[in-house]
Chains A and B, each alone.
Chain A
Amino acid sequence: MIAHAIFFYTFSIIAVVSAIMVTASKNTVHSVFFLILDFISISCLFIMIGAEFLGMIMLIVYVGAVAVLFLFVVMMLNVAQQKNQWFAGQQSSRHIPVGLIISTLIFFEIIIVIGGWKYKPEIFDINNSISQASISNTHSLGQILYTDYIHVFQISGMILLVAMIGAIVLTFRQRSGVKRQSYIKQISRERAEGVEVLEVQSNKGVKLDD
Chain B
Amino acid sequence: MEHLSTVFQEVYKILFLLVPVLVSVAMIVWLDRRVWAFVQKRQGPNVVGPFGLLQSLADALKYIFKEIIIPSSSNKVIFILAPIVTMTLALIAWAVIPFSATQVLADINVGILYLFAVSSLGVYGIIMGGWASNSKYPFLGAIRSAAQMVSYEVSIGVIIINVLLCVGSLNLNDIVIAQQNMWFVIPLFPMFVIFFISALAETNRPPFDLPEAEAELVAGYQTEYSGMMYAMFWLGEYANILLMCAMGAILFLGGWMSPIDVYPFTLVPSAIWLILKILLLFILFALVKAIVPRYRYDQLMRLGWKVFLPLSLIWVVLTASYLFYFNLLPVN
Interface positions of A from 65 to 83, Cβ below 8 Å from B: 65, 68-69, 71-72, 75-76
Instruction: Among A29, A59, A75, point to the contact of B121 (Cβ < 8 A).
Output: A59
Q: For the complex, what is the distance from the CA of A29 to the CA of B130, rounded to whole Å?
A: 13
Known pairs A75-B139, A75-B143; list 19 more (Cβ under 8 Å): A33-B128, A56-B113, A56-B114, A56-B116, A56-B117, A59-B117, A59-B120, A59-B121, A60-B113, A60-B117, A64-B117, A64-B120, A68-B123, A68-B127, A75-B127, A136-B109, A138-B170, A183-B299, A183-B302
Q: 1/0 per position for B137-179, CB-CB distance to A under 8 A?
A: 0010001001100100100010000000000001000000000
Report chain B residues within 8 Å CB of A69.
150
Q: A57 contacts the other chain (Cβ, under 8 Å)?
A: yes
Let me know if A72 and B110 touch, CB within 8 A: no
- Where the two chains meet, the residues of A that have a C-beta atom closer than 8 Å to any C-beta of B are 3, 27, 29, 33, 36, 52-53, 56-57, 59-60, 63-65, 68-69, 71-72, 75-76, 136-138, 181, 183
CB distance from A69 to the nearest CB of B (A): 7
Q: For the complex, what is the distance from the CA of A29 to the CA of B128, rounded to whole Å?
A: 10
CB distance from A77 to the nearest CB of B (A): 12
Instruction: Among B110, B127, B302, point to the contact of A71 (Cβ < 8 A).
Output: B127
Contacts A59-B121, A60-B120, A71-B127 given; does A65 touch B113 at CB 8 Å = no
Let me know if B143 and A53 touch, CB within 8 A: no
Let me know if B150 and A181 touch, CB within 8 A: no
Q: B36 contacts the other chain (Cβ, under 8 Å)?
A: no
Residue of B nearest to A69 (CB): B150
Q: B196 contacts the other chain (Cβ, under 8 Å)?
A: no
Q: For the complex, what is the distance from the CA of A29 to the CA of B78, rounded to whole Å?
A: 10
Instruction: Among B78, B127, B153, B299, point to the contact of A65 (Cβ < 8 A).
Output: B153
CB distance from A56 to the nearest CB of B (A): 4
Residue of B nearest to A75 (CB): B131
Contacts A60-B117, A71-B146, A72-B143 given; does A137 touch B131 at CB 8 Å = no
CB distance from A193 to the nearest CB of B (A): 20
Report chain A residues within 8 Å CB of B124.
36, 68
Q: B261 contacts the other chain (Cβ, under 8 Å)?
A: no
Let me know if B116 and A33 touch, CB within 8 A: no
Let me know if B121 and A64 touch, CB within 8 A: yes
CB distance from B230 to the nearest CB of A (A): 22
Instruction: Among B113, B143, B146, B298, point to the contact of A181 (Cβ < 8 A).
Output: B298
Q: For the complex, what is the distance from the CA of A152 to the CA of B143, rounded to whole Å?
A: 37
Residue of B nearest to A63 (CB): B121
Q: For the complex, what is the distance from the CA of A76 to the CA of B144, rounded to whole Å?
A: 12
Let me know if B113 and A53 touch, CB within 8 A: yes
Identify whether the interface residues of B are mostly helix, strand, loop, or mixed.
helix
Report chain B residues within 8 Å CB of A3.
3
Let me know if B299 and A72 touch, CB within 8 A: no
Q: For the complex, what is the distance from the CA of A68 to the CA of B128, rounded to whole Å?
A: 11
Q: B108 contacts the other chain (Cβ, under 8 Å)?
A: yes
Let me know if B110 and A52 touch, CB within 8 A: yes
Q: For the complex, what is the distance from the CA of A64 to the CA of B121, rounded to whole Å?
A: 5
Let me know if A60 and B146 touch, CB within 8 A: no
Q: For the complex, what is the distance from the CA of A72 to the CA of B116, rounded to whole Å?
A: 21
Let me know if B150 and A60 touch, CB within 8 A: no
Choose among A53, A60, A183 the residue with the greatest number of B CB atoms under 10 Å from its CB.
A60
Q: 1/0 per position for B289-302, CB-CB distance to A under 8 A?
A: 00000000011001
Instruction: Among A60, A68, A76, A137, point to the contact of B116 (Cβ < 8 A).
Output: A60
Let me know if A57 and B150 touch, CB within 8 A: no
The 5 closest A-B pairs by CB, nearest first: A64-B120, A56-B113, A59-B117, A136-B109, A60-B117
Q: For the complex, what is the distance from the CA of A52 to the CA of B153, rounded to whole Å?
A: 21
Residue of A nearest to B139 (CB): A75
Report chain B residues within 8 Å CB of A64.
117, 120-121, 123, 150, 153
Report chain A residues within 8 Å CB of B123.
64, 68
Choose among A56, A65, A69, A137 the residue with the greatest number of B CB atoms under 10 Å from its CB.
A56
Q: For the complex, what is the distance from the CA of A65 to the CA of B116, rounded to whole Å?
A: 12
Q: 1/0 per position for B1-17, CB-CB distance to A under 8 A?
A: 00100000000000000
Let me know if A57 and B113 touch, CB within 8 A: yes
Residue of B nearest to A54 (CB): B110
Instruction: Among A36, A57, A68, A137, point to the contact of B109 (Cβ < 8 A).
Output: A137
Instruction: Among A33, A53, A56, A138, point to the contact of B78 (Cβ < 8 A).
Output: A33
Q: For the complex, what is the distance from the CA of A170 to the CA of B84, rounded to whole Å?
A: 40
CB distance from B282 to the nearest CB of A (A): 24
